[in-house]
Amino acid sequence: MRGAVRVRRDFEEPVRPLSEQVVGRDELLGRAREQLSRGGSLLLHGPPGIGKSTVLRAMAAEYAESARTVLRCSATESESHLPFLALVDLLGLVADEVADALPAPQQAALEAALTGRAESSLHQDGLALRLAVLSVLRALAAKGPVLLVADDLQWLDAPSAELLGFAARRLGGMPVRMLGAVRTGTEPKEQEHDPYLRAYPPETLALRLTPLSHPQIAELLTNRGHTGLRRSTLRDIHHTSGGNPLFALELGRALAESTTPHRPGEPLPVPTSLRALVLSRLDLLSAEARRTLLVASAGARPTQALLAAAGRRNVEAEIALAASLGLVAALGPDSHGPDGQEGAVRFAHPLVSAALYAQATPQERRAAHAALSTAASDPIERARHLALATTGTDEEVAARLSEAAALARDRGAPSVAAQLGLLAARHTPADGRPGADERRLRSAEDALTSGQIDLAREVARDVLDRATDAAVRVRAWMVVIDSAGQAMADVEAVFPQALADAGDDPRLLALVRYQLAWRALLVEGEMAKGREEAAHAARLAATAGDRSTELLALSFQAQMETLMGHPAAPATLEKALAEPQDLRVACDHNGAGATRFRWLIMSDQLTDARATITRLLGEVRRRGIVESEVHFLRGLAETELRSGHCGRALDLAHESLRLARDTGIGEAAGNMFTSLAEAAGGDVHRALALAADAVRRAEDDGDLIYLSRALGALGHARLVAGDAAGTVESLRRARELEQGIGIFDPARGRWHGDLAEALVLIGEPAEAQDVITATREHAVRLRRASVLAVLDRAEALVKAAAGHHEAAAEQLTSAQDRLAQLGYGLEEARAALALARLRAEQSGRGSYDEAARLFRRCKAVPWLRQLDAAVLAGTAPAASAPTVPESVLPHLDRLASTERQVAALVLEGATNREIAARLYISVKTVEATLTRVYRKLGIRSRVDIVRLAAGQQRGD
């Protein structure tokens, strides 16, 4: 055990140096800060390796800056039997500072305990020693705040724990904060940490550290230098570690130290340190029981019935013993596992299974797979186990794996198909037909479908290193191009090579020309050229009889014509929707179904658009087409946002963004649209950050198409945030970009009204009118009714700025009615807000009730906050704001406006949740605001606010 103490100046605001390095604990750190900032104590708990010590060190470093005295101890198992050792670490260096103030009996008892020179114990000098510890802490606290930090409380010696508990219960209002961490079980158990709370003050907050998510584990590994890992490998690390940071880092280290690269579908190397940690009780099992567990670890979804079919004779007894040792959690024969299977066998932690498998010899693993290859009922599982039980090449095994891959593909599991395809290629003989390269390429295409972009690219590049067949090479080039996503500029050198391999073959040329259409759009920003390339690709594909490529090219052509406002768009879309259809293409995010959805939503047909995108989303989920799922989730979110369902849109946008970040598919676009959803129904600061990130990514990728949309999102977020000048800066640039690209349909980005509104706000009504007039011309020609209504709303602001208030009010009323009829709930509410502001400016009074009602219906939180700002600024009726009793006003003068509102609602008896609902903020924001109120008023709880008001009424 090692202790440390530091004596420093009086209380200051804490700095936050180390906690910023803690990954994935933002919410927990927020709750911890709230507790500590109001003088409370904190106990962190969770299983080994979950990050308790990391968070403890971060919080201790952060709050040590605000303490005069810092006391530390860190217990170890080997020293836990030594009495008073923790007390020595905590008080050994500071006792002399206050010892003279202690009564003689207390001095003697404390000295005996700290030095071990006497035979003092809790039995002999119990009361004196207890009082001595309490007196020392009180004396230190009288000189300034004290922070006591204790790690690994489970190893704290019993006498020290009892003394700390005695003192903690009696410190009362003294400025002593205790910060500790204790190990509890992997499976959460009710009140498991309770015994350790006895050493802490009564109102200590206990926080359990939970496993990290997949993106958080990826971030942690990157921060620690484990870069360049495939996303599929990162997913395996997250699954095997169970989200445990220590386990994940150890697995990452093992991969880095391995001499052979990890191949997809293979188990991760488990270092000896982790094997020893999770398999410490394995020696208590018989050799047969260990073999049973090995077979279970080799199975995808092991059950007792499967293990019995694989030749394990005493399954029930062996699993029961393993469960008693904490290696597995066995379900009874009549019970069901997470996937509904009867008699399921679930390991206590995924790492137990991985460690068992890693510890076995290659021969033992092959024997386990051989047994499962006949016992498994699923043909996919049988083929997989047969492959893992077989060494060398074998055409029969390769053929069975290819059949299993096709079955997995049909079941909507392309990621499984990709793994099976790679196994098939590995077992394919040199003279096999189809060849190993063709099987690898099919695996790469499956990986692309399932969102395993890096794996798809790697396999395709591997095929290109060896393949000579032109058709195989061109297909491989297509995978390389598709895996680049929006960053097509990164694969510029691929196109000449792909064209050379395609030669004069119209089928192969159609594939390359289709990709050149995307290049013209994304890299060159030439929409007309992209349309021409797509039309060329469609003609070549029709000549070759390749209906799939023809449909994709026609869909792209129709999409370009729609954005350009080209009169041929409806006819081209009709061709793309004509029979015969390819079902795979029909539900692709670049197929005719998606193009039709875009047409519907731009034409204000929101109901049909929702039905179309919902059907497409269901189909791609059934097929496991991850990239299309990302796009269609975003499309459904856009439909809900246009309809004014801001909460639903925000949820869908975040779901799409999580999937995009998990797979690396379209993160820039995901950030862009999530920014729009946050600005409508979430938090405007997050909206600004997401939009700025989307702009940066689009610029880095050289993606002009999404850059214009990202700038539109950034401009909108700035408008909602009240930054009109920033809005104009972003949207002027978006306008210039779209004019250069050739995008003339204003229903695509819908930023034109925002630009005109912001121009009015910065005193440029003439330019605002120019934007409105130019945009209206295209909107009228293309019959974009909602765009026209929004332009009328913006034009009313131009009229109001010129003093034509009656005409402006009439135009706003008309715009609001039309937007309501079209079903654009949020835009309707914005028109109502503009109308209320206009009337308030005219008469000095007016009602914001209608706007508030519409924004509440939409759950448009940022806009409701704008109404609150209007209330505080005196531009809206103050009756909607909570009132503050006159008696407490002198005390609340030192508070910010939001703090005053929260305090006033506390006086009304509102709960935190009720306050959040009234003020349109989160419960966490209420809690953080109350913490600031307590600090500013020198109080500790909401009860003290009431007492403060009562005291003023009495004249205290």
Q: Per residue in 73-125, pLDDT tens?
A: 888 888 878 888 888 888 888 888 887 888 888 888 888 888 865 454 555 56
Highest mean pLDDT (candidates 562-571, 580-589, 601-610): 601-610
Find, among 293, 290, 311, 291, the residue nearest to 302 by Cα. Answer: 293
Residue 880 has pLDDT above 60, yes or no: no
What pLDDT does 801 receive? 93
Find, among 453, 473, 470, the residue nearest to 462 by Cα. Answer: 473
Residue 891 has pLDDT above 60, yes or no: no
Mean pLDDT of the chain: 86
Largest Cα–Cα separation, the chain: 104
Compute the average pLDDT of residues 279-288: 87
Compute the average pLDDT of residues 280-293: 90
Highest mean pLDDT (candidates 128-132, 151-155, 830-834, 920-924): 830-834
Q: From CA 184, how far away is CA 186, in angstroms rounded?
A: 7
- β partners of residue 920: none
What pLDDT does 878 receive? 37
Residue carrying structure tokens 């995108």: 613
What pLDDT does 948 receive? 67
Highest mean pLDDT (candidates 564-568, 583-587, 826-830, 844-848): 826-830
Residue 233 has pLDDT above 70, yes or no: yes
Find, among 899, 845, 839, the residue nearest to 876 by Cα. Answer: 845
Find, among 693, 699, 748, 754, the residue nearest to 525 by Cα. Answer: 699
Buried b vs exposed e over 441-451: b needs ≥16 C-beta within 10 Å?
A: bbbbbbbbbbb
Residue 803 has pLDDT above 50, yes or no: yes
What pLDDT does 873 receive? 54
Residue 597 has pLDDT above 70, yes or no: yes
- Least-confidence region, from 20-29, 108-117, 728-737, 865-874: 865-874
Find, among 876, 823, 879, the residue nearest to 851 by Cα. Answer: 876
The separation between the first and the last C-alpha atoms of the chain, rounded to the nearest angstrom, is: 51
The Cβ of residue 2 has, within 10 Å, a number of other Cβ atoms equal to 9
Q: Calculate what percentage of the chain has a pLDDT beyond 90.
A: 52
Q: From CA 756, how far away is CA 746, in angstroms rounded?
A: 13
pLDDT band at 20 (very low <50, low <70, confident <90, very high): very low
What pLDDT does 18 receive? 40
- β partners of residue 147: 70, 177
Residue 563 has pLDDT above 90, yes or no: no
Residue 888 has pLDDT above 70, yes or no: no
Residue 465 has pLDDT above 60, yes or no: yes
pLDDT band at 954 (very low <50, low <70, confident <90, very high): very low
- Least-confidence region, from 651-665, 671-685, 894-908: 894-908
Residue 404 has pLDDT above 60, yes or no: yes
Find, among 574, 650, 638, 591, the residue nearest to 610 by Cα. Answer: 638
Buried b vs exposed e over 545-562: b needs ≥16 C-beta within 10 Å?
A: ebebbbbbbbbbbbbbbb
Q: From CA 380, how far away is CA 610, in angstroms rounded?
A: 36
- β partners of residue 149: 72, 179
The Cβ of residue 21 has, within 10 Å, a number of other Cβ atoms equal to 10
Helices (H), 336-394: 350-359, 362-375, 379-389
**Within its chain, how far is the Cα of 386 from the centroid?**
38
* Cis before 434? omega within 30: yes
What pLDDT does 482 receive? 92
What pLDDT does 849 receive? 86
Find, among 271, 289, 265, the residue nearest to 351 by Cα. Answer: 271
The Cβ of residue 738 has, within 10 Å, a number of other Cβ atoms equal to 26
Compute the average pLDDT of residues 815-834: 96
What pLDDT does 124 receive? 56
What pLDDT does 677 receive? 97
Residue 881 has pLDDT above 50, yes or no: no
The Cβ of residue 142 has, within 10 Å, a number of other Cβ atoms equal to 12
What pLDDT does 267 receive? 85
pLDDT band at 263 (very low <50, low <70, confident <90, very high): confident
DSSP 616: H
Q: Calculate what percentage of the chain has a pLDDT beyond 70.
A: 89
pLDDT band at 334 (very low <50, low <70, confident <90, very high): very low
Which 3 state secondary structure label does DSSP give 433? coil
- In sequence order, the 6+-apart residues with CB closer than 8 A to the CB of 104 are none
What pLDDT does 197 receive? 78
Residue 65 has pLDDT above 70, yes or no: yes
Identify the residue with better confidence: 408 or 485. 408
Residue carrying structure tokens 């790697």: 458
CB 309 within 8 A of CB 375: yes
pLDDT band at 884 (very low <50, low <70, confident <90, very high): very low
DSSP per residue, 140-161: HHHHS-EEEEEE-GGG--HHHH
**Length of the chain, please?**
956
What pLDDT does 4 receive? 40
Task: Output phi, psi for 839, to 5 deg.
Answer: -65, -35
Compute the average pLDDT of residues 910-937: 74
Both structure tokens of 783: 């019959």
Residue 17 has pLDDT above 80, yes or no: no
Both structure tokens of 628: 């299309």
Q: From CA 137, how far away is CA 68, in angstroms rounded?
A: 12
Question: Per residue in 170-229, pLDDT tens?
Answer: 887 889 999 999 988 765 555 666 777 777 888 888 899 999 998 899 999 998 888 888
Task: Output phi, psi for 295, to 5 deg.
Answer: -60, -40
Please give the angle made by the CA atoms of 362, 368 and 373, to the nearest 5 degrees: 120
Question: What is the CB-side half-sphere exposure of residue 647 using CA atoms within 13 A?
Answer: 7
Residue 899 has pLDDT above 80, yes or no: no
